[in-house]
Amino acid sequence: MLTINNIEVVYDGVILVLKGVSLEVRDGSITTLLGANGAGKTTTLKAISGVLRAERGEVTKGSIELDGKRIDRFAAYDIVSHGVVQVFEGRRVFVNLTVEENLVAGGHVVPNLPKVRAGIERVYSYFPRLKERRQQQAGYLSGGEQQMLAIGRALMSDPKLILLDEPSLGLAPMLVEEIFGIVRQFVTKEKLTVLLVEQNAAMALDLADHGYVMENGRIVLEGAAATLRENSDIKEFYLGLNEGGVRKSYRDSKRYRRRKRWLS
């Protein structure tokens, strides 16, 4: 469905962030893109969804194709109307709007009211908690509910490909499992396709069919998710396990350092 051919991305005309990235997302699959802080994961998603330009970023080499059609020169709204939607890092919802108003906002590309209504019902069927809180201001939702709302809002544009940027961030493992279970249903029930960016490699590789590992603006590893789970480098660096399968201290893991950075 989606093919990225050797793209380079430059910010501010000089900062080279993606240094020749190629990846493929198969129709009806979940593909995960893993990597440490600053590897270029979010930049890759933004290159696909066309929002780079708003941040003075540019795809300077290579191409991005959706079903064989080049989309790397398209405007962001055009890409949404071609069925590609990004759920941004940090579960950005409109905090002053209610849950339902957020969903309506996500449906702005949907042509008519009955379709918007059907879209809202579809979101509520996946996330009953959002239905219970439909009139509540989004800013008062819990972190997990806000993440559900951010995903639900993306679903409102009736996408075929959803780009998810670190949906697990800051959420309890049980909640992540719940959300990932729903993402899996998108694929099995609705034939959607998902590209999932994660630092939580263990959970992402459990969910995904295929994975890529990115380091410093390049893809350094690729394979079936099951194969990557067994890879010793991945175990060490991303799953926090040593050769004996023992979990290392969180103090050593990148995730811990990242939390600290967020808190400071």
Ligand X SMILES: Nc1ncnc2c1ncn2[C@@H]1O[C@H](COP(=O)(O)OP(=O)(O)OP(=O)(O)O)[C@@H](O)[C@H]1O
Q: Which spans of this chain sit near ligand X (rule: CB under 6 A)?
A: 11-12, 15, 17, 35, 37-43, 55, 57, 89, 199
Q: Which does 159 bind (CB under 5 to 8 A by kind): Mg ion, ligand X, none?
A: none
We find the least distance from the C-beta atom of residue 233 to ligand X, in angstroms, to be 17
Q: Is residue 42 close enough to count as binding Mg ion by CB under 5 A?
A: yes
SS3 content of the chain, % helix, strand, coil (to 5): 40, 25, 30
The rounded distance, in Å, linking the Cα atoms of 178 and 198 is 16
Q: Other C-beta atoms within 10 Å of 157: how many?
A: 18
Is the distance from CB of 196 to CB of 184 less than 8 angstroms?
no
Which CB sits closer to Mg ion, 59 or 99?
A: 59
Q: Which residues of 28-58 are buried (b: 16+ CB within 10 A; e: fewer)?
A: ebbbbbbbbeebbbbbbbbbbbbbbeeeebb
* Residue 16 CA from chain centroid, whole number: 22
We find the least distance from the C-beta atom of residue 166 to Mg ion, in angstroms, to be 6
Name the token pair of 93.
């919802």
Which CB sits closer to Mg ion, 42 or 147?
A: 42
We find the least distance from the C-beta atom of residue 35 to ligand X, in angstroms, to be 5
Q: Which does 55 bind (CB under 5 to 8 A by kind): Mg ion, ligand X, none?
A: ligand X
Name the token pair of 116.
């918007």
Which CB sits closer to ligand X, 17 or 66?
A: 17
Which CB sits closer to Mg ion, 36 or 97?
A: 36
Q: Is residue 168 close enough to count as binding Mg ion by CB under 5 A?
A: no
We find the least distance from the C-beta atom of residue 58 to ligand X, in angstroms, to be 11
